[in-house]
Amino acid sequence: MFSFTKEQKVFDISGISVGGQPGMHPTVLFGGLFFKGEPDFDDAKQHLQTIFDLSKQTGTPVIPDFFVRKVEYIQPIIAFIEKVIPKKHPFSLDIIEPSIKIETLELLAEKKLLSRTIYNSIHIGITKEETEALQKYTPELAIIVAFNPKDTSPDGKIEVLENGAHLTECGLLELVRKIGIEKLLIDTAALAPGENSGAAIAALPVIKEEYGFPAGCAIHNVVEKSRWLNDFPFAKKTVDAASNNAIPLFGGDFAIFGPIENAPLVIPLMAWQDILVSEYTENYFGVSPVASHPRRKLLK
Amino acid sequence: MRQKLKTSVIGSYPIYIDTLDVIKDYFSEQQTSWTKYIDQAVHDMTSAGINFVSDGQTRDPFIQLFTRNLRGCRIRDRTEILGPVQYTGPITEPDQKYAKRLLPRNTGLIGVLTGPYTLMKSSLDFFYHDEKQLAFDFAAALRNEAELLLKHVDLISIDEPFFSNELPDYAKELIGTITNGLSRPTRLHVCGDVSRIIPQLVDMPVDILSHEFKASPYLFDLFREYSSVKKMCVGAVRSDDVIVETVEEIVTHVKKAITIFGDTVVQIAPDCGQRMLPRDIAFLKLQNLVKAGEIINGG
């Protein structure tokens, strides 16, 4: 378990705090919706209710992460967010195509939702048009994916943040500063087994010690890519949920845990892990958990 | 009758890396492939008709290309030396092997190595605190790579731009660590103002010297007294200027070189790597270089 010498930043978005010294704030979870494309709003509504209930019960903050795969889904998904997500709760939008990102930003601005928006994500593939749209319609918080195709090690992730690994005009951190986003989360870019998958976890303390920014990743993707686990279906689900534990254990602040359906398994599991970390870090490093921490909620 | 002039590149070639494509590969769980960028670089050079081509050094800038793959080096913002520099296996060899497969018959491939002095000077040393030892360890690693390249390339070219800033007294020994006894011709490329170090350059243990005679034509006069000592690769189009030299201009420039160096002029090339030029400009410069070469050769 870790405590960092570098001062740790804590960012707040609509009442959810992320970052800081390990043991201070609970791990923030991102649960994915509409990954396959076409939104099923009835199903989503049920899952959202489940995560809000579990979050309230455990103290583990959960943020819905909406995939937007096609232009025609932008309007209905934003309308759904407006209607179903509590007014003071943040949400994340997970979009790959720059044109869809730009159109979504415009609509978020029009609906005055940018202050609750987590922009997932900024990376080396950012276009000039997307940069300009972000300058005009700036979301409250952005996830920076530190993927470096030249070097998958923790140092490679720092390289892409520092200078874009010479693939972009400047480093991703400078780019974000130029855009004007002050709150950011560093995603350490999980890769498949055989491609330095462990580096995403190893990079968490490295990034936090280097910059003090909140760091996390979608380590669940590594489980998805572990094809051999398909021979062990019972174990696979457990491994999938448990993989997220590595994040707080290595000092990380957030976990993008995959499909929101996994929430009933992942949320209590992460609450348990955060309690474990908090007990040690308070005893050894004197880091007290915040009032909303699972340790405060569940151990009375 | 004089031997025919060959056209050559120095190393890098400007290829746009589609980072959106790269990140889409990441999100769709595909490994990043660099071969299409090598394809584009080699295609341009061979289409222009260049005799000696490179793989384009599209993968990385010329420092990181090597230090990324050497033990003891760490790259964050710049290359940092954290331990003994050691060769651990192929660096550019896979790209060279791939490039070789793309070449038409009678087109040669250059194995380009960034020089040990330039690698040393471009790194932040937190371990050796001894420039000479670090440079020689880089040289030893590059020697391993050079030996590996011999079976794929027709020429080994060492790129040492830092020699024009300062030439260490161990420069000859350093370059010899890489070149001594190699079974392929070797070339040393030093761009920048080399006017102060010409006597040392002509004494280097390489077969061909390569300098930027187009941007620095005054070098012709300074080289005059050493004109028959070494084979020369004459820089004949600029790498730092988007104006495309005409064929006639290149012919005049090369003829001047021949009047001074005579038969020792064996190659004409851009002044340096073309990485900083727009791709279409780089291509036009290579095309005109080839046309000028044909005229000089009596074609």
Determine which of B19, B66, B81, B276 to mutate to test the interface with A (most A C-beta atoms within 10 Å): B19
In chain A, which residues have their Cβ closer than 8 Å to the Cβ of B23? 96, 123-125, 145, 147
The 3-class secondary structure across B80-148, one letter per residue, is EEEEEEEECCCCCHHHHHHHHHCCCCCCEEEEEEECHHHHHHCCEECCCCCHHHHHHHHHHHHHHHHHH
Give CA separation, A77 vs A84, A280, B216, in Å.
10, 41, 62
CA count, 13 A, side-chain hemisphere, B224: 8
A101/B contact by beta carbon, under 8 A? no
Residue range A147-192, pLDDT digits in tens: 999 999 999 999 999 999 999 999 999 999 999 999 999 999 999 9
ipTM: 0.93
Q: How far apart are the C-alpha atoms of A54 and B233, rounded to whole Å?
A: 72
How confident is the model at residue B38, as a pLDDT? Answer: 98
φ, ψ of residue B30 in degrees (nearest 5) = -100, 145
How confident is the model at residue A39, as a pLDDT? Answer: 96
Question: Which tokens belong to A6?
Answer: 């570098």
Q: How far apart are the C-alpha atoms of B178 and B159, rounded to whole Å?
A: 12
Q: Enumerate residue ranges in chain B where pLDDT < 70.
A: 1-2, 299
Number of residue pairs across A and B with CB atoms under 8 Å? 54
Taking CB atoms and an 8 Å limit, are B24 and A192 in contact across chains? no
Taking CB atoms and an 8 Å limit, are B31 and A195 in contact across chains? yes
Residue range B23-71, pLDDT digits in tens: 999 999 888 899 999 999 999 999 999 999 999 999 999 999 999 999 9
Among the listed residues A208, A217, A117, A130, the one whose alpha carbon sits nearest the alpha carbon of residue A176: A130
φ, ψ of residue B212 in degrees (nearest 5) = -90, 80
Containing A66, the helix (H) or strand (E) segment is strand A62-67
Location of structure tokens 């405590």? A3
CA distance, residue A222 to nearest chain B CA (Å):
10
Strand bridging mode A215-217 / B52-53 = unpaired
How confident is the model at residue A2, as a pLDDT? Answer: 81
- Extended strands (E) in chain B: 6-7, 52-53, 70-75, 79-87, 108-114, 124-125, 155-159, 186-189, 208-211, 231-237, 265-270
Tens digit of each residue's pLDDT, chain A (300 residues): 789 999 999 999 999 999 999 999 999 999 999 999 999 999 999 999 999 999 999 999 999 999 999 999 999 999 999 999 999 999 999 999 999 999 999 999 999 999 999 999 999 999 999 999 999 999 999 999 999 999 999 999 999 999 999 999 999 999 999 999 999 999 999 999 988 999 999 999 999 999 999 999 999 999 999 999 999 999 999 999 999 999 999 999 999 999 999 999 999 999 999 999 999 999 999 999 999 999 999 997
A37/B contact by beta carbon, under 8 A? no
What is the number of other CB atoms lying within 10 angstroms of the CB of residue A64? 26
Helix axes A199-211, A154-163, angle to 10 degrees: 50
Question: Which tokens belong to B38?
Answer: 């090598």
How confident is the model at residue B76, as a pLDDT? Answer: 94
Among the listed residues B183, B182, B160, the one whose alpha carbon sits nearest the alpha carbon of residue B172: B160
How confident is the model at residue A1, as a pLDDT? Answer: 75
